[in-house]
Amino acid sequence: MQLEKYELKSGEQLTVFEFVSVGPKGRISKLVQYSPTNYRDLYNEHKKETSYFNR
């Protein structure tokens, strides 16, 4: 299985990741952030499309 790879930018604690997705709607800047919960080794995932770019 061969999956598409993204060039990532991350914060120092590796809880925030930014990348650009390219698809039929053009280039979309995306951000994924993980935040800790009250449970050990369990994190919440937050996704956000930050902006659209023309092709």
Number of domain units in the chain: 1
Domain containing 18 equals 9-53
What pLDDT is stored for residue 38 in this prediction? 92
More confident residue, 5 or 40: 40
pLDDT category of residue 53 using cuts at 50, 70 and 90: low
Answer for the pair 10, 24: CB distance below 8 angstroms, yes or no. Answer: no
Residue 29 pairs with which residues in a beta bridge? 20, 51
Coil, strand or helix at 43: strand
Indicate the average pLDDT of the chain: 81
Task: Establish if 3 belongs to a structural domain.
Answer: no
Task: Establish if 28 belongs to a structural domain.
Answer: yes
Task: Establish if 44 belongs to a structural domain.
Answer: yes
CA 49 to each of CA 1, 39, 42: distance values in angstroms, whole numbers, following the listed order: 27, 28, 23
Report d(CA 37, CA 45) in Å as an integer: 10
Arithmetic mean of pLDDT, 33-46 = 88
Angle, alpha carbons 35-40-42 (nearest 5°): 45
